[in-house]
Amino acid sequence: MSYLWEEFNIKTFAAETIVYRDGVFCPDLSTLPSTQIPSHTDLPVHIIYVGEIAGENRLDIDVAGENMRVFLSAKIKNKKPAFLNIFIKNTGKNSEIRGGVFAQNDNRLNIDIDAHHGAADTTVTIRTKLIAGPHTQSKLRGTARIENACPDCTSDISFSAMAADTARIEFTPAQRISSAPKSADHSASIYRPTDAQVQFLRMAGLSGAEVESALREAFAAELDCMNI
């Protein structure tokens, strides 16, 4: 499996894995036999979702066991219109789901994240970063739901984008909270490099294309699911 890690620069650690490539589950690259997360494992579960997508795509993450640790690393791109729907359900007491989604849009891309807390002391934190190319359209939607009798949950769905001047971006973060959480946050932001940053890179001898590449790499950095 080493070629997959090298190609997509996914940080790995000791874990059971569920691997998707181009929107398709790959049992030969996974240590778990199916996309179903077991109710108990000695190791955390690492869901890896990488490659190019088009059309409708769905990723279900359902955690029912207590004290589970589940991590999501997603790195996707699209050249055709694409939709990625991520449905997260955490009903395992004291279980956590932490994830990072990195997307590069070269056409039309919708990402819809629905996170459901169905037990006390559950955690769902998903950070999404988008690079939107010229004349692209992007819609990023995230909804966190904390049900009744589910106190002390931690919820955070955030979006940030680095976009070309002609790109169109729509953010819709939302929360539906019916129990007092430990913390509940959502955010959306646009990243724009400063003139000082661009000038520093040019003074270092980088060409225009190299400056753009360096800024993209800096924006995409620090999206480590283990630290979210």
Task: Compute the distance between CA of residue 223 and CA of residue 214 in angstroms, rounded to an integer.
Answer: 16
Three-state SS at 5 = helix
Judge whether residue 201 has pLDDT over 70: yes
Name the band, by pLDDT with cuts 50, 70 and 90, for residue 150. Answer: very high
What mean pLDDT comes out for the span 66-73?
A: 96
Q: From CA 200, how far away is CA 22, in angstroms rounded?
A: 37
Average per-residue pLDDT for the chain? 90
What pLDDT was estimated at residue 115? 97
Q: How confident is the model at residue 85 (pLDDT cuts 50, 70, 90)?
A: very high
Unique residue bearing structure tokens 């190299």: 210
Mean local confidence (pLDDT), 121-148 = 96
Percent of the chain beyond pLDDT 70?
93
**pLDDT exceeds 60 at position 221:** yes
The residues that bridge with 96 in the sheet, in sequence order, are 69, 123
Neighbours of 64 (CB within 10 A): 16
pLDDT for 3 equals 52
What is the pairing mode between strands 123-132 and 16-21? unpaired
Q: What is the pLDDT of residue 25?
A: 97
Say if pTM beats, i.e. exceeds, 0.85. Answer: yes
- 107-118 per-position pLDDT tens digit: 999 999 999 999
In this structure, what token pair is assigned to residue 110? 């919708």
* CA dist., res. 61 & res. 2, Å (int): 24
Confidence band of 156 (pLDDT split at 50, 70, 90): very high
pLDDT value of position 38 = 96
The token duo for 195 is 């003139």
Which of 10-19, 31-40, 116-125 has the least mean pLDDT? 10-19
Does 5 score more than 70 pLDDT?
Answer: no
pLDDT above 60 for 30: yes
